[in-house]
Every structure is written in C-alpha cells, then in structure tokens.
Structure 1
C-alpha cells in the first residue's frame, strides 16, 4: 500500500522525500506540515512500540488521538538503527531522500554513527534537520526537554495568566509547536539554498530558542523600560482598551488599538463622558488607568448581550470578537468556510476531527491523502520499492 503516488503534482512540496525519525510532538508537527504541503514523509519508528505518542491518550478504537492529530499523510516503517540489516534499509532510504528530520537528544545520532559530517559526505544533497530542547551547542545541549520545561525556562510562563495567579502555561504546547513551525521554515530555507548550491545543509532548531524568539514584545519592552514584564491577564500591555470584557451573557473582546478607534467607540457605547475624562485622553493615560476604564465600560456592557455588542461594534469598524470555547470555534462558519477542520480515521473506521493546515499556496489546500499509519504498515511496499530501484 503506497501513498506517495497520491500526491497532487501541483502540491508545493511535491517530489520532495523526507525520512522522518521524529516522535511525540515538535518533530511530528513539523513533518506533518511538510507532508500536508505535498512532501512524501516516510516515518521510521522503533520496532515494537513505535513513536512514544502512540501510547498517549485519549484513545479511539485503541489508537491514540494524540498520535493521529500530527501524523496524517505519512508512511510508517519500523527499523532498529542498531541492527545491521535495518541500517542498510535506512541508508537505502537516505539515498533517495531530500531531508532527514530527527528530534532525539543531541549526541544520539552521533552514537548511531549518523553524524552530520558522515551524512553530508555520503549524501551531499541531504538536508539534515534536528529539533531538540536546547540545540546542538551550548552548556544545556544534552539535557532533555519537554514543552513545559521550555515554557517555564524561557519566560513565556512569566507573562502568562492572571496578575495574582500561580504560574500558568500557555494552554497549548507552544514550546513544541513553535519549534515544529520554525523547523519547517529552516528546512524549506535549506531546500531553497540547495537549489543554488546543490548541497544539503544542517538545520539546528532548539525549543528554548524558539520560545525566546516568541518573546518579541516582552524582551523589547523590558529593554526599553527596565521594568520586568509580568502576567497581566488578557489585556494588552501597551494599548487600552484592548481586553476581554463581560457582557450580560458572556465574554467578548474589544481591541481599540488607537485613539481614533477609542473616539468612535465611546459614542457607540453611549459613553460620551469618557472622551472628556483626562484619565482616558490618550493611550498612555488609558494604559495607566486601565482598571478604572474597564469598570466603567463593563457597567455599560452588562446591559446587553455579547451578540448585541459584537454586532454593533463590528458594523462600525471596531475590532471585536466573541470569546469562544473549543466546541464553539469548531462550529464557527468562518472556520468551516476556510476548511480548518479535517478528519482522519482509525483502522476500524472511526472518524476523528483534527485541526487542518492553515497554509494555502495557490490553489493547493492541504488534504488528508492518507490516514495516520499503523506501526510498520508500509514495510512491504517500501522494501519492494527499494528493491526495484
């Protein structure tokens, strides 16, 4: 059962073959994005157990929903990289590959005898992408990392949550997913460079580095003001009113990013007096008196539903949006219109709804060409293909 023939030739990465040694989240999220964009991804897994994510719940028909959400459009072969016969198969796969992606701890590939120097010598066109906790260099390079570890270490956690709350992680695995996305960018950059040079490159992406990169605003703010950023709930640190507000029946957002928007907002809310109040005369003043302003706005907003306010403000060009739960956003007409939910199915045919791919290139929208693979399900087809090469 081969899948790669089903790649539409107009897919952006059609013709690119990726050998994928990654597991759990950061690496598989990277390779799924590349697969969605048309690359052929051959997932090489540990015999017997496979990707660790296969053991993480919740389970549907005995298959991990966690695994299924980041492994569509891939083939699977189980290889023991310490066994000579399996190493031969692995090396034959590398012969035909454009990219090798791995997210082991630094040093692991060297121990297996697949260090960059050796790979570059034997497969000069191969791009070798590594995603790790702390990168291939530096004093922390050999330490293990999980999403939670880098969220805490990087400072992302220090600016997340309520001002008087306990430390809170971002509600998704931004440590893993940020690294996966940056690894996609690095891999595609190396492939573009290869178009000119004919040679593959080493791509080194660290989860901690990616979290620091995502701290753009807190780092610049601290650097400019000398004040240590802390958690401030949902409001914007330097624009007001820019926050979540309570209407009669629930939460919604008002994002007044300029004086001009604020000057339009007050008459719409029938609060003209706010425009005369020196505390709210400029964005800087509003930031200083954000709590007083929020109290006055919420007193007015409590008089009607969030649908009423969202409709009124949207019609008048004020950036706003309802606060949705996961089921609400999954049912949202805009999300449906953009095809941002897709479905995969277990071997027994149970359908699981998962997040789609947001990248559209020309007419190519990512589709599910093949279901998340069972462990080693493509062995026979891959070996046959290698034998015929």
Structure 2
C-alpha cells in the first residue's frame, strides 16, 4: 500500500522544477503520466552528459513515470486531454502564464470537466504582477531574488548556487501544495488552482537573510564560507584539504578550544560570546587555521566527533556519493530500462517506519506508453 495509490497526475511540465515535484508524487505511489508533444517538448532531454543517448539531466527527475504524446494545438488532442482529465486528480504544468488558457485548457475550463481536479501551475513569476508573462529560469531567479548577492567570496562576484536551487526548492513546494490541496479536497470534495512562482519560492527561502533586512535593515553580504551571524562557522584548511567546522554555540566553541588544546581562547574577552567572536572573527580564524593545518581532515574529524562538534569534509561529488554514510543509508538505487539499460540514481530521502518507497519505472522515452492510453477515458 502506497500513500498516493489511486491518485493520477497528468504532468505537462518540462525541465526540472515541476517534473522533480511529480517524481516525488510518483515515488509515493501516484500514477504520473507525462503528456508531451509528439516532437518532444522537454529541452532537458537534449542536455548532456548522456547515458546511451539519454540525458542524465532528464533521468534525474523522471523515474516512476509514464509518457504519452498529444499535440495540444489540435482540437482532437485537446478533447482527448479533457477525457483524461475526467479521471485525473492532478494537473501539473509549467507553460508560460496564459498558454493553457489560449488552448482552452485553463483551470476554469477543466474544472467544468472535473470539479475535483487540482491544477498546479508553475511559472517563473506567477499568474499576476508585471512579470507574469515573462519566462523564468533558475539562474535568473537566483539573480533576482538576491541569493547570488549573498553567495560567493567576499571580494568576488555574485555567484549562483552550483545546483538549480530555485527549481529544487520549487519542486518541494509543488509536492507540499498538492498534498495540502488533496487533504482539503477530502474535506470539501472540490479541487482548486495552485499558483506557484519560482521567484516567490526563492524569496521565501532567504530565511534569516530576509528576516535580518526586514526587521533591522541589516543587508547581508557575501562572506564566502563564513556565516553572517556566527563564528567560527566556516571552512578551515587542514594538512590534506578543506574541512567545515561549525561551532554554533558558546558551549561548542568552548569544546573546540579544549579539542585544540587552546583553553585560554574560551576565556579571552574577544571570544567569550558569539557577538564578540564575530567582531574579532579575522583574528580568530587566523588562530584556528594555524592549528587545523597541523593535522589531516580525518584526524580532526575523529576529534570533532569525540567532542560533539559539527564538522565535515568538503567532499568532491564523487567523494560525496561514495561516502560510507550514503552506503549505510542505502541512498543509491538502480533501475533498468529495456532500451537504454541501467540507470543509477539518488533515492528519495523519505524513510518511514512501515512504508517503503517503490522504485518501479525507469524514466520513460518519449511516448513510451502512448499505446497504453489510446482510449480517451482512463477508468481507475
């Protein structure tokens, strides 16, 4: 038994933010049907590197789904889609604002077909406002949200995060909003429209940075691997490479002093409180680095664990994916597709006491399951 069994999703979305959200729904048991143009509408299929001609970018967001093709620019296909809507629970799309309405497939029209339908529209800037009709891509959202301004070296240029973080966060909000809408439908027997904007999501994710400005006028700046509010809380050089150390409380700093055999630092008036440590951060970092450089990362990690101080190696992607903790947590999975072979992937982080995430389908090739859905109606 899966929590979203008997929930059907018609997924018209492309690229990452919305498809990654529907993949999470599929992992939880929903039947997710990708509805794509016969010529292919997802540019992510064209982005390398490739595994047997399949984009690894596409593969990371589309497991556990089926794919059918419809040209929604034709009247016949639109009527067929409406038939599919009759027995669907969720529609997910990320066309530009107004595109679905121009095809006669707006929420207002589709809820006439199925009043219980939950319609989630993901756009760069939402359905309202002066930018509503503009396309929004992850790097643009990172730039406009201020995220880039607080990311990177203090003397360097504004820097985007190394993964499409606005898309990733939006995918999570796709799932949260749809689950909330399903719960509401249980109570009202009615569906609803969800207006989800990448810029809204990224702005809401500025967390302490936004709170500091809104409430005190303090505008955070780029500090590289340092923290705006806490010290010592950054990367330090060791004999064999970089190590992240986070002494986030006065108590942890005192433990750090003991660990480094520098107990006098904990009594130094420059470092007694976090506020004082931030004021004298440059001096403190120089002093700590002179100590950390004398041992390897593994030597320091053993001591950090012994003293219950948060810390970790700055891993490469290869090191991160192959580290013993990931193996112990069984976080790497594998699915096989009869056409392009074995696909490895990072599993869902959701772990339940009495539920196992079911990985059944490798990401589909374009239109792979069209024949399965030739009939206009899909009885459950």
Which of the five TM-score ranges fits, normalised by the shorter chain?
over 0.9
Residue 72 of structure 2 aligns to a residue in which SS? coil
Are residue 238 (structure 1) and residue 229 (structure 2) matched? yes
CA distance in 1: counterparts of 2:217 and 2:106, whole angstroms: 43
CA distance in 2: counterparts of 1:70 and 1:345, whole angstroms: 16
Q: Alpha carbons of 1:384 and 1:226: their partners in 2 closer, same or farther (altered >3 Å)?
A: closer
Deviations 1:251-298 (A, max 9, x none): 112111111111121011011221232211111000111111111011
The 10-residue stretch of structure 1 (86-95 or 277-286) with the greater mean CA deviation from structure 2: 86-95
Match of 1:328 in 2: 319
Are residue 258 (structure 1) and residue 258 (structure 2) matched? no
Match of 1:145 in 2: 136
User: Mind listing any 5+ residue stretches in structure 1 that lack a counterpart?
Assistant: 1-9
Match of 1:6 in 2: none
Deviations 1:37-94 (A, max 9, x none): 1100010001122422111211121111111111111110010112222223211211
Contact 1:14 1:39 in 2 (8 A): yes
Q: Alpha carbons of 1:274 and 1:352: their partners in 2 closer, same or farther (altered >3 Å)?
A: same
CA distance in 1: counterparts of 2:218 and 2:315, whole angstroms: 33
Match of 1:314 in 2: 305
Are residue 19 (structure 1) and residue 10 (structure 2) matched? yes
Match of 1:154 in 2: 145
Q: How does 1:104-119 map to 2 (within 5 A)?
A: 104-119=95-110
Contact 2:21 2:172 in 1 (8 A): yes
- Following TM superposition, where does structure 1 have runs of at least 4 consecutive aligned residues deviating by more than 4 angstroms? none
Q: Alpha carbons of 1:274 and 1:86: their partners in 2 closer, same or farther (altered >3 Å)?
A: same
Are residue 367 (structure 1) and residue 329 (structure 2) matched? no
Normalising by the residue count of structure 1, what TM-score does the alignment of the two structures yield? 0.94
Q: How does 1:166-181 map to 2 (within 5 A)?
A: 166-181=157-172
Residue 270 of structure 2 aligns to a residue in which SS? helix
User: Mind listing any 5+ residue stretches in structure 2 that lack a counterpart?
Assistant: none
- How many residues are paired up? 380
Contact 2:87 2:379 in 1 (8 A): no
Match of 2:220 in 1: 229
Contact 1:102 1:130 in 2 (8 A): yes
Given candidates 273, 293, 296, the residue that maps to 2:287 is: 296
Q: Alpha carbons of 1:317 and 1:288: their partners in 2 closer, same or farther (altered >3 Å)?
A: same
RMSD across aligned positions (CA):
1.6
CA distance in 1: counterparts of 2:255 and 2:141, whole angstroms: 42
